[in-house]
Structure 1
Amino acid sequence: MKYVKLVVSDMDGTLLNSNHEVSQRFFNLFKKMQSLNIKFVAASGRPYYSITEKLHPITKDIIIVAENGGLVIENKEVLLSNNIHSDKLNKLYNLVSNIKDVYPIFCTKHLAYFLNTPLEIVNTFSEYYSINKTISSLKEIEDDVIKIALYHSKNSESFIYPHVKHLGSEFNVVVSGNHWVDISESITDKGNALSFLQNRYNIKPSETMVFGDFNNDLEMLKLSKYSYAMANAHKDVKATANFETDTNDNFGVEKVIELLIAESSQD
């Protein structure tokens, strides 16, 4: 572990506990990583502004991969941005707006657009998309769409994915949580974002540590020698990762980072 130069963590179900909080224990560990010149990347399906809210004490000192790799930002500088081509949006809109009991969110850099969403669902979404606007048509979207997030209150794999999996030949379609499926351009995923950063900073997979819990983390886990599935992770994540750590509610990420710091601090 002592050669690790880059630590990458998913947010929900991984770095965040079940109350959607980052622990003070992690913030203390971050200072130690920083003193050892270890870069930290927060990689999430969440929008950029939501990640900065959760990690506000350290956002100037980390790299943020938002919208499942659709945006890569370091200290407010956009390093990478992949938008869904505007000529494809009509096709996607017509499909996702007609799936029963599924609520689409059109995600842009600064704002999330909720389509025909009742208030109780809006309140649920606001944890992830705090800057939002409810719309009734595609014409009301005024910015480039990076990702379309689809929500079902019961289960995403059963009630959303069967309706959109055929899009996989043209788009990146991924089950990103128990209630979520995300659609973005085919080149957009956390693995592509991580590969970009590894090339930018000349960091090898053997010098990279990654934590994840759901299928939108699979591509980035494959780019790391020190890949960790959370104990609460999806079975596909556990099958892909090289190691397993404790749950997100029992400091699974923090426990491994403590081992990393201990080894990296040795002469």
Structure 2
Amino acid sequence: MIKLVAFDIDGTFLRSDNTYDVECFEKIYRALQDKDIKVVVISGNQYAQLASFFPKHQEELIIVSENEALIFEGDKLLREAKIARTELEKVLDVLVSGDLENATTLCGLHSAYLLKSAPKQYKEEIAIYYHALKEISNFQDLPEDDFVKLALLVPEEKTNQLLEKLNQATGQLVQAVSSGHGSINIIQRGVHKGSALEFLNRHFDISPQEMMAFGDGGNDLEMLAYVGHSYAMANTPEKVKKTAMYQALSDQESGVLEILERKVVKR
């Protein structure tokens, strides 16, 4: 019996224009509530941005954000995996020495931060994903916040080379991971979507076999491997399809909603 459903946002739940079938979702969401099934939105994106997609249900949803470093139930923070200041400074030194500071966003519990000197195009693109966003003069004099992630946006063809360089330089406590399309996230080692669901397993006493999850990218692999009912979207790389047990229709075809209605709601 399914007691928890979790889905990624970009490339999984949302269509390419950042919309979804609201009427269909509302009907399915009510049915899941009636069955006492927990709904988890799980993404590398910022909490404020993820919550904005579900204005009617912010107080009920479980939102796992910032590459799973922050877990909220409604407005209650359940878990925070922050990066130690010493490790953060080490990573920032690597980014600055590699002329990557203007392609970097520093993500905190209360806001995200980018440099005033960053290109206008970068600022506009980052603003799509970070609704709480501030500009700062440099990464040496940091504001008071708990920092949980650094996000980079680089040319896609340079991603693998940069990942290797960052992971060699950052040490044992943090790691650089790719979420596709030139996006690199630097997070506390061991923090991923699988560990987030493992935390929810303990917190709510819901076993992996009672969980269903949907994903499309490399940062979904641990989550898909962890749950008993895993779905890769049709628009996903082969590695993700091999990790998941089943395949859903693409994000453009509302694949998440189709499976939930057919496999969970109608049973």
Q: Please, what TM-score do these two structures have when normalized by structure 2?
A: 0.92
Contact 2:106 2:112 in 1 (8 A): yes
Superposed CA offset, 1:82-140 (max 9, x none): 10001111110011234356711100122111133111110011110122122232213
Using the alignment, how far apart are the partners of 1:193 and 1:111 within structure 2?
21
Q: 2:219 aligned to 213, 216, 220, which one?
A: 216
Post-superposition shift, 1:215?
Answer: 1.3
Contact 2:51 2:58 in 1 (8 A): yes
Superposed CA offset, 1:172-218 (max 9, x none): 32111212111111132111111010111111111100001111111
Amino acid at match of 2:143: I
* Greater shift in the superposed pair: 234-243 or 85-94: 234-243
Superposed CA offset, 1:30-68 (max 9, x none): 111111111100001011111111121211111010111
Post-superposition shift, 1:15?
Answer: 0.8
Using the alignment, how far apart are the partners of 2:108 and 2:237 within structure 1?
27
Post-superposition shift, 1:168?
Answer: 7.0
Q: Secondary structure at 2:166's aligned position in 1?
A: helix
Report how many residues are paired: 262
Using the alignment, how far apart are the partners of 2:26 and 2:249 within structure 1?
18
Post-superposition shift, 1:156?
Answer: 6.0
Post-superposition shift, 1:153?
Answer: 4.3
C-alpha RMSD over aligned residues: 1.8
Amino acid at match of 2:11: G
Using the alignment, how far apart are the partners of 1:37 and 1:152 within structure 2?
42
Using the alignment, how far apart are the partners of 2:4 and 2:247 within structure 1?
18
Q: Secondary structure at 1:258's aligned position in 2?
A: helix
Residue of structure 1 equivalent to 2:6? 8
Contact 1:105 1:149 in 2 (8 A): yes
Contact 1:172 1:189 in 2 (8 A): no
Q: Secondary structure at 2:40's aligned position in 1?
A: strand
Report whether the alignment pairs 1:174 with 2:177: yes
Amino acid at match of 1:231: A
Q: Please, what TM-score do these two structures have when normalized by structure 1?
A: 0.92
Residue of structure 2 equivalent to 1:130? 131
Report whether the alignment pairs 1:21 with 2:19: yes
Residue of structure 2 equivalent to 1:114? 114
Using the alignment, how far apart are the partners of 2:158 and 2:212 within structure 1?
28
Using the alignment, how far apart are the partners of 1:148 and 1:128 within structure 2?
13
Report whether the alignment pairs 1:194 with 2:193: no
Using the alignment, how far apart are the partners of 1:225 and 1:97 within structure 2?
42
Using the alignment, how far apart are the partners of 2:85 and 2:174 within structure 1?
13
Contact 1:150 1:160 in 2 (8 A): no
* Greater shift in the superposed pair: 70-79 or 232-241: 232-241
Contact 1:14 1:247 in 2 (8 A): yes
Residue of structure 2 equivalent to 1:226? 229
Structure 2: tracts of 5 or more residues without a match? none
Q: Secondary structure at 2:32's aligned position in 1?
A: helix
Using the alignment, how far apart are the partners of 2:198 and 2:258 within structure 1?
25
Using the alignment, how far apart are the partners of 1:31 and 1:77 within structure 2?
22
Change over 3 Å in CA distance of 1:202–1:30 after alignment to 2: same
